[in-house]
Amino acid sequence: MVLKRIIPCLDVDRGRVVKGVGFVDLRDAGDAVELAARYEREGADELVFLDISASHERRRTGAELARRCADEIFIPFTIGGGIRSVEDAHAVLAAGADKVSVNTAAVARPELIDELARVFGSQCVVVAIDARRCDDAGQASRTGCVHTDGHRWEVVVEGGRRGTGRDAVTWAREAVARGAGEILLTSMDRDGTEDGYDIGLTRAVSDAVDVPVIASGGAGELEHLVEAIERGGADAVLCASIFHYGRYTITQAKRHMARRGVPVRLD
């Protein structure tokens, strides 16, 4: 039986965890390493750090964060944000990260996924996909999104600020074909809203690829985590606000999932 994972997501700006809605209106949630250590104690399976710092020296920022985390935590963690080359990835992995996440840079140059997988192995490569639902058939036609289970989703980049014209499901397939070991799938319509994951989007991508899909964007109640796995087909759930601000603990989340029949690691 494959255990389902709970993965706290920490959006990091200059060493501090921040959270907003759709990556804007950010508010402080604490020190990144202190929060990470707390989540490890509570039973988190993995952690994801997304460096959103305005610094132009992304490689240095990411490596320093990885080094600080590696000194304090012992569960796997992924770092994303500013990974544009094999050299960027090497700096972060050598500093202690287990995986790197790529998003905008991979959309701009898909060959980056091939290069990372070839050098580090697919198990180290997470492709993050931010997707927004197309409002109508006309918009979908203009952006090039295809019809998927009655809905259309466009890949967006730069924190959701720019559309790409790529269909999210098609891009997920290509990313896996190029060597992605996991897909981190965020609904920009749901991110920070606490209204629940976009189940249609999650299911469409989960059915389309043969690697683990991490559902992200919208968790507000513990039942949302169950829905993402049971109805959406996700292998893991990414959460932020419900843990950062003390609504629930990871222990509470895992106990709820276990009661609902979802296989999770219980310490």
Instruction: Give pLDDT, residue 136.
Output: 53
Catalytic residue among 13, 130, 167, 191: 130
**C-alpha of 195 from chain center:** 17
pLDDT tens per residue, range 98-156: 999 999 999 999 999 999 999 999 999 999 999 999 865 444 444 455 544 567 899 99
CA distance 88 to 65: 13
130 included as an active-site residue: yes
CA distance 238 to 4: 11
Catalytic residue among 11, 45, 88, 98: 11
Domains along the sequence of the chain with CATH: 5-259 (3.20.20.70)
Contact 125, 113 (CB under 8 A): yes
Q: Determine if the pTM surpasses 0.75.
A: yes
- pLDDT, greater one: 100 or 62: 100
Instruction: Give pLDDT, residue 13.
Output: 78
Instruction: Give pLDDT, residue 27.
Output: 58
- What's the whole-number average pLDDT of the chain? 88
Residue 170, pLDDT > 50, answer yes
162-167/153-157 β-pairing: antiparallel
Confidence class of residue 261 from pLDDT cuts 50, 70 and 90? very high
Instruction: Give pLDDT, residue 11.
Output: 87
State the CB neighbour count (10 A cutoff) for residue 43: 18
Please, what sign has the CA dihedral across residues 196, 104, 124, 178? positive
Mean pLDDT confidence for 218-228: 97
pLDDT tens per residue, range 24-61: 555 566 788 999 999 999 999 999 998 876 444 455 67
Mean pLDDT confidence for 196-223: 97
Instruction: Give pLDDT, residue 189.
Output: 94
What stretches of 213-261 show up as alpha helix (H) in DSSP?
222-230, 241-244, 250-259
Q: Above pLDDT 90, what percent of the chain?
A: 72
Residue 1, pLDDT > 80, answer no
Contact 236, 214 (CB under 8 A): yes
45 included as an active-site residue: no
